Protein backbone atom coordinates (compact mmCIF):
# COMPACT_ATOMS: atom_id res chain seq x y z
CA UNK A 1 0.00 0.00 0.00
CA UNK A 2 1.39 3.34 -1.18
CA UNK A 3 1.83 5.85 1.56
CA UNK A 4 0.61 9.47 1.16
CA UNK A 5 3.35 12.07 0.70
CA UNK A 6 4.02 14.12 3.76
CA UNK A 7 4.07 17.91 3.18
CA UNK A 8 6.80 19.78 4.88
CA UNK A 9 5.76 22.24 7.56
CA UNK A 10 8.04 24.69 5.80
CA UNK A 11 5.84 24.58 2.71
CA UNK A 12 2.80 25.49 4.79
CA UNK A 13 4.38 28.71 6.13
CA UNK A 14 2.96 32.06 4.94
CA UNK A 15 5.98 33.00 2.87
CA UNK A 16 5.26 30.06 0.60
CA UNK A 17 1.59 30.99 0.08
CA UNK A 18 0.54 31.35 -3.54
CA UNK A 19 1.93 34.51 -5.12
CA UNK A 20 -1.47 35.91 -6.10
CA UNK A 21 -2.69 35.63 -2.52
CA UNK A 22 0.38 37.37 -1.12
CA UNK A 23 -0.01 40.25 -3.59
CA UNK A 24 -3.60 40.75 -2.52
CA UNK A 25 -2.52 41.02 1.10
CA UNK A 26 0.14 43.68 0.52
CA UNK A 27 -0.54 47.43 0.40
CA UNK A 28 0.95 47.54 -3.08
CA UNK A 29 -1.96 45.47 -4.34
CA UNK A 30 -4.57 47.94 -3.08
CA UNK A 31 -6.39 49.44 -6.09
CA UNK A 32 -5.03 52.89 -6.90
CA UNK A 33 -7.38 55.87 -6.79
CA UNK A 34 -7.43 57.44 -10.22
CA UNK A 35 -8.40 60.95 -11.28
CA UNK A 36 -11.76 59.77 -12.54
CA UNK A 37 -12.58 57.62 -9.53
CA UNK A 38 -11.52 60.40 -7.14
CA UNK A 39 -13.76 62.81 -9.03
CA UNK A 40 -16.72 60.42 -8.86
CA UNK A 41 -16.31 59.90 -5.12
CA UNK A 42 -15.85 63.61 -4.48
CA UNK A 43 -19.00 64.43 -6.47
CA UNK A 44 -21.04 62.06 -4.33
CA UNK A 45 -19.67 63.53 -1.09
CA UNK A 46 -20.34 67.12 -2.06
CA UNK A 47 -23.82 66.32 -3.36
CA UNK A 48 -24.65 64.60 -0.06
CA UNK A 49 -23.35 67.68 1.79
CA UNK A 50 -25.83 69.87 -0.10
CA UNK A 51 -23.25 71.72 -2.19
CA UNK A 52 -24.99 73.49 -5.08
CA UNK A 53 -22.47 72.64 -7.81
CA UNK A 54 -20.86 69.32 -6.82
CA UNK A 55 -19.72 68.39 -10.34
CA UNK A 56 -17.69 71.54 -10.99
CA UNK A 57 -16.47 71.95 -7.42
CA UNK A 58 -15.28 68.36 -7.10
CA UNK A 59 -13.42 68.53 -10.40
CA UNK A 60 -11.63 71.72 -9.36
CA UNK A 61 -10.61 70.21 -6.04
CA UNK A 62 -9.36 66.96 -7.60
CA UNK A 63 -7.37 68.91 -10.19
CA UNK A 64 -5.82 71.10 -7.50
CA UNK A 65 -4.95 68.21 -5.20
CA UNK A 66 -3.48 66.10 -8.02
CA UNK A 67 -1.71 68.93 -9.82
CA UNK A 68 -3.78 68.07 -12.87
CA UNK A 69 -5.32 70.12 -15.64
CA UNK A 70 -8.80 69.84 -17.05
CA UNK A 71 -7.35 68.16 -20.14
CA UNK A 72 -5.87 65.45 -17.90
CA UNK A 73 -9.32 64.51 -16.65
CA UNK A 74 -10.18 63.62 -20.24
CA UNK A 75 -6.88 62.51 -21.71
CA UNK A 76 -5.42 60.67 -18.70
CA UNK A 77 -8.39 59.85 -16.44
CA UNK A 78 -6.78 56.74 -14.91
CA UNK A 79 -3.68 58.49 -13.63
CA UNK A 80 -3.21 57.38 -10.03
CA UNK A 81 -3.11 59.86 -7.16
CA UNK A 82 -0.33 59.54 -4.62
CA UNK A 83 -1.00 59.21 -0.90
CA UNK A 84 -0.01 62.86 -0.38
CA UNK A 85 -2.41 63.95 -3.12
CA UNK A 86 -5.21 61.91 -1.59
CA UNK A 87 -4.54 63.49 1.79
CA UNK A 88 -4.64 66.95 0.22
CA UNK A 89 -7.91 66.14 -1.53
CA UNK A 90 -9.45 64.85 1.69
CA UNK A 91 -8.57 68.07 3.51
CA UNK A 92 -10.12 70.13 0.71
CA UNK A 93 -13.29 68.05 0.63
CA UNK A 94 -13.77 68.41 4.38
CA UNK A 95 -13.55 72.19 4.03
CA UNK A 96 -16.01 72.22 1.11
CA UNK A 97 -18.42 69.97 3.00
CA UNK A 98 -18.39 72.70 5.65
CA UNK A 99 -19.47 75.01 2.81
CA UNK A 100 -16.29 77.02 2.54
CA UNK A 101 -16.17 78.47 -1.00
CA UNK A 102 -13.89 76.73 -3.48
CA UNK A 103 -12.11 80.01 -4.20
CA UNK A 104 -11.10 80.38 -0.56
CA UNK A 105 -9.99 76.74 -0.38
CA UNK A 106 -7.79 77.09 -3.46
CA UNK A 107 -6.83 80.70 -2.75
CA UNK A 108 -7.75 81.75 -6.26
CA UNK A 109 -10.81 82.37 -8.43
CA UNK A 110 -11.26 82.84 -12.15
CA UNK A 111 -13.10 85.98 -13.25
CA UNK A 112 -13.63 87.09 -16.83
CA UNK A 113 -10.28 86.15 -18.44
CA UNK A 114 -8.07 86.58 -15.39
CA UNK A 115 -7.30 84.55 -12.27
CA UNK A 116 -7.40 86.39 -8.95
CA UNK A 117 -6.06 85.58 -5.51
CA UNK A 118 -8.92 85.53 -3.01
CA UNK A 119 -9.08 85.29 0.78
CA UNK A 120 -11.86 85.56 3.38
CA UNK A 121 -11.19 89.32 3.36
CA UNK A 122 -12.76 89.82 -0.06
CA UNK A 123 -15.95 88.88 -1.84
CA UNK A 124 -15.36 85.95 -4.19
CA UNK A 125 -16.00 87.28 -7.72
CA UNK A 126 -19.05 85.77 -9.37
CA UNK A 127 -19.98 85.14 -13.00
CA UNK A 128 -23.01 87.46 -12.85
CA UNK A 129 -20.71 90.38 -12.02
CA UNK A 130 -19.13 89.92 -15.44
CA UNK A 131 -22.24 91.62 -16.81
CA UNK A 132 -20.55 94.91 -15.88
CA UNK A 133 -17.64 93.98 -18.15
CA UNK A 134 -19.99 93.28 -21.05
CA UNK A 135 -21.53 96.73 -20.62
CA UNK A 136 -18.28 98.65 -20.14
CA UNK A 137 -16.19 97.03 -22.85
CA UNK A 138 -18.92 97.76 -25.39
CA UNK A 139 -18.64 101.42 -24.42
CA UNK A 140 -14.84 101.89 -24.46
CA UNK A 141 -12.80 100.93 -27.51
CA UNK A 142 -9.91 98.50 -27.44
CA UNK A 143 -7.24 101.18 -27.90
CA UNK A 144 -9.04 104.00 -26.14
CA UNK A 145 -7.21 105.78 -23.31
CA UNK A 146 -9.42 106.39 -20.29
CA UNK A 147 -9.33 106.44 -16.50
CA UNK A 148 -11.26 104.01 -14.28
CA UNK A 149 -12.35 104.27 -10.66
CA UNK A 150 -13.49 101.10 -8.86
CA UNK A 151 -15.31 101.90 -5.61
CA UNK A 152 -15.21 98.98 -3.18
CA UNK A 153 -12.42 97.36 -5.18
CA UNK A 154 -12.17 94.18 -3.05
CA UNK A 155 -9.98 91.66 -4.86
CA UNK A 156 -9.65 94.06 -7.81
CA UNK A 157 -11.87 91.94 -10.05
CA UNK A 158 -13.64 94.71 -11.97
CA UNK A 159 -10.76 97.15 -12.21
CA UNK A 160 -8.18 94.57 -13.24
CA UNK A 161 -10.48 92.84 -15.74
CA UNK A 162 -11.04 96.19 -17.48
CA UNK A 163 -7.33 97.03 -17.50
CA UNK A 164 -6.44 93.60 -18.84
CA UNK A 165 -8.79 94.16 -21.78
CA UNK A 166 -7.98 97.83 -22.44
CA UNK A 167 -4.18 98.33 -22.50
CA UNK A 168 -4.39 102.12 -22.77
CA UNK A 169 -6.56 102.50 -19.66
CA UNK A 170 -5.38 103.19 -16.11
CA UNK A 171 -7.27 103.13 -12.84
CA UNK A 172 -7.70 103.59 -9.13
CA UNK A 173 -9.29 101.14 -6.69
CA UNK A 174 -10.73 102.35 -3.39
CA UNK A 175 -11.70 100.20 -0.43
CA UNK A 176 -12.24 100.83 3.26
CA UNK A 177 -10.67 97.48 4.20
CA UNK A 178 -6.89 97.35 4.42
CA UNK A 179 -7.07 93.53 4.26
CA UNK A 180 -9.00 93.76 0.98
CA UNK A 181 -6.48 96.24 -0.41
CA UNK A 182 -3.68 93.78 0.39
CA UNK A 183 -5.39 91.17 -1.76
CA UNK A 184 -5.95 93.67 -4.59
CA UNK A 185 -2.32 94.76 -4.35
CA UNK A 186 -1.16 91.16 -4.80
CA UNK A 187 -3.44 90.72 -7.79
CA UNK A 188 -2.14 93.88 -9.43
CA UNK A 189 1.40 92.55 -9.12
CA UNK A 190 0.49 89.03 -10.26
CA UNK A 191 -1.19 90.36 -13.40
CA UNK A 192 1.64 92.73 -14.25
CA UNK A 193 -0.51 95.84 -13.88
CA UNK A 194 1.53 97.68 -11.26
CA UNK A 195 2.21 100.62 -13.56
CA UNK A 196 -1.44 101.12 -14.48
CA UNK A 197 -3.40 100.47 -11.28
CA UNK A 198 -3.16 102.21 -7.92
CA UNK A 199 -5.04 101.70 -4.66
CA UNK A 200 -6.38 103.99 -1.97
CA UNK A 201 -7.90 103.26 1.41
CA UNK A 202 -11.05 105.34 1.60
CA UNK A 203 -14.78 105.60 2.22
CA UNK A 204 -16.35 105.30 -1.23
CA UNK A 205 -15.45 108.43 -3.25
CA UNK A 206 -14.87 110.68 -0.27
CA UNK A 207 -11.72 112.70 -0.96
CA UNK A 208 -11.40 111.64 -4.61
CA UNK A 209 -10.80 114.64 -6.87
CA UNK A 210 -13.95 115.92 -8.63
CA UNK A 211 -14.45 115.20 -12.31
CA UNK A 212 -11.31 113.09 -12.57
CA UNK A 213 -12.52 109.81 -14.09
CA UNK A 214 -14.05 108.68 -17.37
CA UNK A 215 -15.50 105.49 -15.91
CA UNK A 216 -16.69 104.53 -12.43
CA UNK A 217 -17.51 100.95 -11.46
CA UNK A 218 -18.89 99.49 -8.26
CA UNK A 219 -20.25 96.23 -6.92
CA UNK A 220 -21.48 97.55 -3.55
CA UNK A 221 -23.15 95.57 -0.75
CA UNK A 222 -26.84 95.26 -1.62
CA UNK A 223 -28.35 92.45 0.44
CA UNK A 224 -30.88 93.63 3.06
CA UNK A 225 -29.50 92.96 6.52
CA UNK A 226 -32.27 90.64 7.66
CA UNK A 227 -31.97 88.51 4.51
CA UNK A 228 -28.33 87.64 5.12
CA UNK A 229 -29.23 84.92 7.63
CA UNK A 230 -31.30 83.20 4.91
CA UNK A 231 -28.41 82.98 2.47
CA UNK A 232 -26.34 79.91 1.70
CA UNK A 233 -23.52 79.19 4.19
CA UNK A 234 -20.92 80.03 1.54
CA UNK A 235 -22.09 83.66 1.70
CA UNK A 236 -23.59 83.91 5.19
CA UNK A 237 -20.58 82.45 6.98
CA UNK A 238 -17.59 82.86 4.72
CA UNK A 239 -18.01 86.17 2.85
CA UNK A 240 -17.00 89.45 4.55
CA UNK A 241 -20.15 91.02 6.00
CA UNK A 242 -19.01 94.50 5.01
CA UNK A 243 -19.10 93.42 1.35
CA UNK A 244 -22.67 92.08 1.38
CA UNK A 245 -24.70 94.00 4.00
CA UNK A 246 -26.67 96.71 2.21
CA UNK A 247 -28.58 97.99 5.22
CA UNK A 248 -32.26 97.69 6.04
CA UNK A 249 -33.48 97.76 2.42
CA UNK A 250 -30.24 96.90 0.65
CA UNK A 251 -29.95 100.40 -0.85
CA UNK A 252 -27.78 102.16 1.73
CA UNK A 253 -24.66 102.19 -0.46
CA UNK A 254 -26.50 103.50 -3.54
CA UNK A 255 -27.84 106.49 -1.62
CA UNK A 256 -24.26 107.64 -1.21
CA UNK A 257 -22.88 106.37 -4.48
CA UNK A 258 -25.39 108.12 -6.73
CA UNK A 259 -24.16 111.59 -5.84
CA UNK A 260 -20.53 110.66 -5.24
CA UNK A 261 -20.13 108.83 -8.55
CA UNK A 262 -21.51 111.75 -10.52
CA UNK A 263 -19.21 114.05 -8.58
CA UNK A 264 -16.01 112.27 -9.63
CA UNK A 265 -17.05 111.62 -13.25
CA UNK A 266 -15.98 113.94 -16.03
CA UNK A 267 -18.81 115.35 -18.19
CA UNK A 268 -20.16 112.53 -20.38
CA UNK A 269 -18.35 110.07 -18.12
CA UNK A 270 -19.92 106.64 -17.74
CA UNK A 271 -20.75 104.49 -14.72
CA UNK A 272 -21.96 100.95 -14.12
CA UNK A 273 -23.01 99.43 -10.79
CA UNK A 274 -24.17 95.95 -9.87
CA UNK A 275 -27.59 95.61 -8.24
CA UNK A 276 -29.54 92.94 -6.39
CA UNK A 277 -32.85 91.30 -7.22
CA UNK A 278 -35.76 93.73 -7.48
CA UNK A 279 -33.59 96.82 -6.98
CA UNK A 280 -33.38 98.18 -10.54
CA UNK A 281 -36.19 100.74 -10.31
CA UNK A 282 -35.04 102.09 -6.95
CA UNK A 283 -31.40 102.41 -8.02
CA UNK A 284 -32.35 104.07 -11.31
CA UNK A 285 -34.48 106.55 -9.35
CA UNK A 286 -31.60 107.38 -6.99
CA UNK A 287 -29.23 108.11 -9.88
CA UNK A 288 -31.90 110.06 -11.75
CA UNK A 289 -32.48 112.23 -8.68
CA UNK A 290 -28.72 112.84 -8.51
CA UNK A 291 -28.76 114.08 -12.12
CA UNK A 292 -27.58 111.06 -14.10
CA UNK A 293 -28.54 110.77 -17.77
CA UNK A 294 -28.97 107.91 -20.25
CA UNK A 295 -29.87 105.46 -17.49
CA UNK A 296 -30.25 101.81 -18.48
CA UNK A 297 -30.61 98.43 -16.81
CA UNK A 298 -28.85 95.31 -18.10
CA UNK A 299 -29.68 91.66 -17.53
CA UNK A 300 -27.21 88.93 -16.66
CA UNK A 301 -27.10 85.61 -18.54
CA UNK A 302 -29.82 84.22 -16.30
CA UNK A 303 -32.16 87.04 -17.34
CA UNK A 304 -32.03 88.90 -14.01
CA UNK A 305 -31.62 92.68 -13.84
CA UNK A 306 -28.01 92.95 -12.73
CA UNK A 307 -26.47 96.30 -13.73
CA UNK A 308 -27.55 99.93 -13.82
CA UNK A 309 -25.49 102.24 -16.07
CA UNK A 310 -25.63 105.87 -17.00
CA UNK A 311 -23.76 109.05 -17.85
CA UNK A 312 -22.90 112.35 -16.28
CA UNK A 313 -24.69 114.93 -18.40
CA UNK A 314 -22.81 117.87 -19.90
CA UNK A 315 -22.94 120.89 -17.63
CA UNK A 316 -23.59 118.93 -14.40
Q: Measured between alpha carbons, how far is 186 from 100 in angstroms, rounded to an integer?
A: 22
Domains in the chain with CATH codes = 9-98 (no CATH), 119-312 (3.40.50.150)
Average pLDDT over residues 115-136: 96
Indicate the pLDDT class of residue 4, thresholds 50, 70 and 90: very low
CB-facing half-sphere around the CA of 62: CA atoms within 13 A: 28
Q: Measured between alpha carbons, how far is 153 from 134 in angstroms, rounded to an integer?
A: 18
The share of the chain scoring above pLDDT 90, in percent, equals 87
DSSP E strands, the chain? 108-111, 114-117, 147-151, 170-175, 197-201, 213-218, 265-274, 292-299, 305-312
Average pLDDT over residues 63-90: 94
Tens-place pLDDT, residues 257-301: 999 999 999 999 999 999 999 999 999 999 999 999 999 999 999
pTM of the model: 0.86
Amino acid sequence: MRSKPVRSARLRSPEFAPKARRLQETPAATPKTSLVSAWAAAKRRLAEAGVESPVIDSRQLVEAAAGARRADMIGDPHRALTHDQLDALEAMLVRRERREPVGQILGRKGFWKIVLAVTPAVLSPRPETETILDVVLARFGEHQAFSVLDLGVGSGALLLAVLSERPSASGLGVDISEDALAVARANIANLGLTGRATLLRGDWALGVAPESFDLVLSNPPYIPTLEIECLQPEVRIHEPRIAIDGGVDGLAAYRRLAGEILGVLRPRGFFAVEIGAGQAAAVVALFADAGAAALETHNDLAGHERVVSGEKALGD
